[in-house]
Amino acid sequence: MRVLITGASSGIGREFALQYAAAGHDLVLVARNVERLHALAADVHSQFGVDAQVLAADLSNRAQLTIVEERLRSDSAPIDLLVNNAGFGTTTSFGTADLHREQEMLEVLVVAVMRLTAAALPNMIKRRSGGVIVVSSVAGWMPGGTYSAAKAWATTFVESIAGELRKTGVSAMALCPGFTVTEFHERAGIEREAVPRFLWLDVRDVVASAIRDYSRGKVVCTPSLRYKALGLFMRTLPRWIWRALNVGLSGPRR
């Protein structure tokens, strides 16, 4: 199996690369930080003997996004699994946000996910095998700014295409983690001390849960019992209560 992973240079994406490489799968690693990608490619090759292609791309840039789309459409060394993981977050409330940054976020979390999935599926359907994992978030189950709206779209998108893909041999799954210990939150300006310790997840456990649930054909994966319970509460709480609480959860959850 060959796995293409976006946002592979750090965090959840890097852990996907390590765990799939450990299982003997070749990789295509996509991110902006080419030095980190090459270091990761060398690491997985030396540790596990797998091939890892490096593809430097900023997914908020349509021209660079096209390069990744073309790789997904290629019949040469075809992609068997697309992991849409590239992240983007901000803690600024929408009323005072930089609109350019908000649009960049949507380019990465919505447009890129849609376009890359669209590029990957035709060949997979033709082969009657393959799949897509989209890293979404529990933030999509609550009103919390552009980030939450993008993650709500991502989860609904996956649930929709999973239904369309029945009987094709191709699958789709949304991974909806909560707070996960990675560099992502540091870059977004979220201090770990501001979040209760029990809400933090280990990135290795998150990815292991995702890989296990994907292999079982699940459509939505929510790692850990605590987030499964919280998720049930979050999804059943009436929307008007969320609005009345005015929690201001505009920041990223993973």
The one catalytic residue in 147, 148, 209, 224 is 147
User: Does 147 participate in catalysis according to the annotation?
Assistant: yes
User: Does 20 participate in catalysis according to the annotation?
Assistant: no
Cβ atoms within 10 Å, residue 148? 21
The one catalytic residue in 136, 137, 209, 224 is 136
User: Does 215 participate in catalysis according to the annotation?
Assistant: no
Measured distance CA(228)–CA(209) in Å, rounded = 12
Q: CA separation (Å) from 174 to 24, 49, 83, 107? A: 23, 29, 10, 18
The one catalytic residue in 10, 148, 151, 227 is 151
Q: CA separation (Å) from 142 to 145, 207, 231, 245? A: 9, 23, 10, 11
Torsion region of 78: left, alpha or beta (phi above 0 gives left; psi -120 to 50 gives alpha)? beta
Nearest to 135 by CA among 93, 161, 172: 172
Q: How do 220-221 and 81-84 pair as beta strands?
A: unpaired
Measured distance CA(127)–CA(219) in Å, rounded = 21
Measured distance CA(135)–CA(137) in Å, rounded = 7
Q: Are 26 and 52 in contact, with CB atoms under 8 Å apart?
A: yes
Q: CA separation (Å) from 25 to 12, 69, 157, 174? A: 17, 21, 27, 21
Residue 53, judged by CB atoms within 10 A of its CB (0-12, 13-18, 19+), counts as: middle
Residues annotated as catalytic are 136, 147, 151
